[in-house]
Amino acid sequence: QVQLQESGPGLVKPSETLSLTCTVSGGSVSSGSFYWSWIRQPPGKGLEWIGYIYYSGYSNYSPSLKSRVTISVDTSKDQFSLRLNSVTAADTALYYCARHKRGNNPFEIWGQGTMVTVSS
């Protein structure tokens, strides 16, 4: 059974870069059948899709975050990563990684999420 696990610093200073990694177990990030996404949820608020990556390295980002986001993949480690630069308090959120089938498909498997707080 495929499982996703987020990891990374829980505290980031304003203007710095947020970096998170999602490790895939029970499956492979190299599967050509899936996209791998990041989604976030500010405390007490709704969900926001950040972007996705394909094993080939092809990526696609939310227009509202595109200028600050980079998602990369490491097939040798079955991991994919998120970098969000120039963070502010508005980037404080629970960050999830998720898997969805290639093409127009919903998010079928989610990690447990990791909380990131932006504060000095």
Partner 1 sequence: EIVLTQSPGTLSLSPGERATLSCRASQSISSSYLAWYRQRPGQAPRLLIFGASSRATGIPDRFSGSGSGTDFTLTISRLEPEDFAVYYCQQYGNSFSWTFGQGTKVEI
Question: What does the binding site for partner 1 look like in residue numbers (CB under 8 A)?
Answer: 46-49, 60, 62-63, 96, 100, 103-108, 110-113
Least distance (Å) between residue 97 CB and partner 1: 10
Least distance (Å) between residue 104 CB and partner 1: 5
How crowded is residue 37: how many other Cβ atoms within 10 Å of its Cβ?
22
Distance CA 40, CA 45 (A): 10
DSSP, res 90: G
In the bound state with partner 1, the residue whose beta carbon lies nearer, of 85 and 109, is 109
In the bound state with partner 1, the residue whose beta carbon lies nearer, of 76 and 104, is 104
Least distance (Å) between residue 36 CB and partner 1: 14
In the bound state with partner 1, the residue whose beta carbon lies nearer, of 46 and 120, is 46
In the bound state with partner 1, the residue whose beta carbon lies nearer, of 10 and 63, is 63
Sequence-ordered strand ranges (E) for 1-120: 3-7, 11-12, 18-25, 34-41, 48-53, 59-61, 69-74, 79-84, 93-101, 107-110, 114-118
